[in-house]
Amino acid sequence: MSVRTRFAPSPTGLLHVGGARTALFNWIYARKNAGTFVLRIEDTDHTRNTEQAKQVILDGLHWLGLDWDEGPQKGGNHGPYYQSERGAIYEEYLSRLEKAGHLYEDNGAIRFRSPREKVVVEDEICGKIEFDLTNPGTHPDLTLRRPDGSWIFHFVSVVDDIEMKITHVIRGEDHLSNTPKHVELYKALGAVPPRFAHMPLILNRDGSKMSKRDEGAALGTYPEAGYAPEAVRNYLSLLGWSPKENREIISTEEVIALFDLDQVNRRNAAFDLDKCFWINGQYLLQMDLARYAELAIPFLEKAGITWPTWEALERVLTIVKPKVKLLKDLPEWVACFFTDALTYDEPAVAKSLTGEIAAERLRTLSDSYASLSSWDAASLEFSLKETAVKLGIKTGELVHPARVAVSGRGIGPGLYEMIEILGKERVLSRFAKGIAKAAGA
Ligand code: GLU
């Protein structure tokens, strides 16, 4: 039987990292087994069920690269994939239960009479668990439908998993305690329950429950912050799972190859945005330039930065790449290469580009550079060092004013590479401006 997994989010207005991790593990498991990954939107709660809330989920999954095989926008043989459109199916299943004598009415609500048994759940992650459902005090009968006619999650989720032929229900551990009740429903409907795999919860580092408002909780904040989707996939795949050698940088392809449900941790996972940030930096560093540019260009365009040629952009990206940890910071590293209106970081100016001494040093460097016949990083470095020796000062005492003069900033990529790329004309004119700025201050 071919594997069919599903991600079944309720549209709450945001895609939580926990949900994104659930989606990822379902997707990975389907891909690993050449199976089918289904997306089903559990939108039976009409009050929260807005178009925008649904779009947030679709956008988040698209961004993460978790393509679904069946679901919204895609279709499939087991639709519709919005629960709000599946009322007729639920009615039919409800009447089957009713005919078999499993239901009763209670103040307008429809409830399922539990057989009051012990139910064993063989969970792929948590192992074999016996639930004792014999006591109605601790395990009241499930409500399937509210007096207003709306459906309760437990019932419609079971119906959909049957109808959509789901073989593996991979979801958060918060649903583990619901599972024996779901198993009762499967049995009453004459269906074989799917395999269950309940993943450990994701908590804050201090062990508290993650709230919507915690930094990094909403997947929607990652694209704008300048995370690469492949890095976030890497990070999420380590929340509750790890490859044997405990490697932290692991491609999605490798995770698919190595992953199995019985290796998922039982211990809760700690959410650590610093680690995600670090992983992102590693990905940006290792990334080939074509992919880097693809991710970078929207950030540059948004900042109004334009570049004369593709080659010029590539050269700049190559030298700033090792410095940038989040793509949202990229424009401030790149801007000085593609503008005539340099903006100066005033604290950096105050530190390195102020006073007659700084002006005089820069003037000497400018003269040395003006007389250079070749304009490459090695010659520029040689000439600067030679000038420093001539002036009897340390290299740094020339590097800092030069950097602020050409880039406006106290930090940046390698100075000589930067000067090489900027070109002689631009550099000498920035030196002149810098000299005037220092002398005038
Ligand atoms: N809509 C449920 C949730 O978001 C799905 C639970 C499940 O996967 O069965 O928690």
Could you write out the DSSP letters of every residue in 27-94?
HHHHHHTT-EEEE-B----TTT--HHHHHHHHHHHHHHT---SBBTTTB-TT---BGGG-HHHHHHHH
**Taking the mean position of all CA atoms in its chain, how far away is CA 12?**
18
Range of the domain at 99: 86-199
- Do 180 and 252 share a domain, yes or no? no
- Do 173 and 93 share a domain, yes or no? yes
H or E stretch including 275?
helix 273-286
Q: Check 212, 385, 390, 394 and give the catalytic one.
A: 212
pLDDT of residue 441: 54
Mean pLDDT, the chain, whole residue set: 96
Task: Please state the atom number of ligand 1 nearest to the C-alpha of residue 19.
Answer: 4
User: How many residues make up the chain in this entry?
Assistant: 441
Q: How many whole angstroms from 10 Cα to the centroid of ligand 1?
A: 7
Domain membership flag for residue 227: yes
Q: What CATH number has the domain bearing residue 143?
A: 3.40.50.620
Task: Please state the atom number of ligand 1 nearest to the C-alpha of residue 157.
Answer: 9
Is the pTM above the cut of 0.85?
yes
Contact at 8 Å (CB) between 287 and 266?
Answer: no
- Do 123 and 193 share a domain, yes or no? yes
Ligand 1 pocket, Cβ-based, cut-off 6 angstroms: 8-10, 42, 157, 171, 175
- Tokens in use for 214? 């915690």
d(Cα 388, Cα 371) in Å, to the nearest integer? Answer: 16
- Do 138 and 94 share a domain, yes or no? yes
Residue ending a domain, choose from 248, 264, 285? 285
Q: What CATH number has the domain bearing residue 317?
A: 1.10.8.70
Domain membership flag for residue 70: no
Domain membership flag for residue 252: yes
- Do 130 and 157 share a domain, yes or no? yes
Domain membership flag for residue 234: yes
pLDDT single digits (tens) 330-382:
999 999 999 988 999 999 999 999 999 999 999 999 999 999 999 999 999 99
- Do 321 and 353 share a domain, yes or no? no
pLDDT of residue 308: 93
- Do 395 and 305 share a domain, yes or no? no
- Do 281 and 310 share a domain, yes or no? no
Domain membership flag for residue 7: no
Q: What CATH number has the domain bearing residue 269?
A: 1.10.1160.10
Q: Ligand 1: which of 4, 10, 164 to mutate, judged by most atoms within 8 Å of the beta carbon?
A: 10
Closest residue by Cα to residue 170 from 11, 10, 13, 21: 21
DSSP 164: T
Residue 344: half-sphere exposure toward Cβ, Cα within 13 Å: 20
- Closest C-alpha residue for ligand 1 atom 2: 9
**Taking the mean position of all CA atoms in its chain, how far away is CA 256?**
18
Q: How many whole angstroms from 41 Cα to the centroid of ligand 1?
A: 9
- Do 317 and 259 share a domain, yes or no? no
- Closest C-alpha residue for ligand 1 atom 5: 8
Residue ending a domain, choose from 302, 331, 360? 331
- Residue 209 banded pLDDT, cuts 50, 70, 90: confident
Q: How many whole angstroms from 8 Cα to the centroid of ligand 1?
A: 5
H or E stretch including 315?
helix 310-320
Domain membership flag for residue 248: yes
Count of structural domains, the chain: 4
pLDDT of residue 245: 84
- Do 145 and 235 share a domain, yes or no? no
Question: Who contacts 44 (Cβ-Cβ below 8 Å, separation ≥6)?
Answer: 83, 84, 150, 151, 153, 156
Q: Ligand 1: which of 153, 169, 182, 198 to mutate, judged by most atoms within 8 Å of the beta carbon?
A: 153
pLDDT single digits (tens) 255-310:
999 999 999 999 999 999 999 999 999 999 999 999 999 999 999 999 999 999 99
Domain membership flag for residue 43: no
Residue 12, Cβ neighbours under 10 Å: how many? 15
Residue ending a domain, choose from 199, 229, 255? 199
Q: How many whole angstroms from 414 Cα to the centroid of ligand 1?
A: 50
Q: What CATH number has the domain bearing residue 375?
A: 1.10.10.350
**What pairs with residue 70 in β-bridges?**
38
Closest residue by Cα to residue 401 from 384, 386, 417: 384
212 is catalytic: yes
- Residue 49 banded pLDDT, cuts 50, 70, 90: confident
Contact at 8 Å (CB) between 422 and 337?
Answer: yes
pLDDT surpasses 90 at 406: yes
- Closest C-alpha residue for ligand 1 atom 3: 9
Residue 228's alpha-carbon distances to 63, 276, 339, in angstroms, are: 9, 10, 27
Contact at 8 Å (CB) between 291 and 230?
Answer: no
pLDDT single digits (tens) 102-117:
999 999 999 999 999 9
- Do 94 and 182 share a domain, yes or no? yes
Domain membership flag for residue 108: yes
- Do 92 and 182 share a domain, yes or no? yes
Contact at 8 Å (CB) between 232 and 221?
Answer: no
Task: Please state the atom number of ligand 1 nearest to the C-alpha of residue 171.
Answer: 8
With vertex at residue 80, the alpha carbon angle to CA 77 and CA 83, rounded to the nearest 5 degrees, is: 140
Q: How many whole angstroms from 69 Cα to the centroid of ligand 1?
A: 19
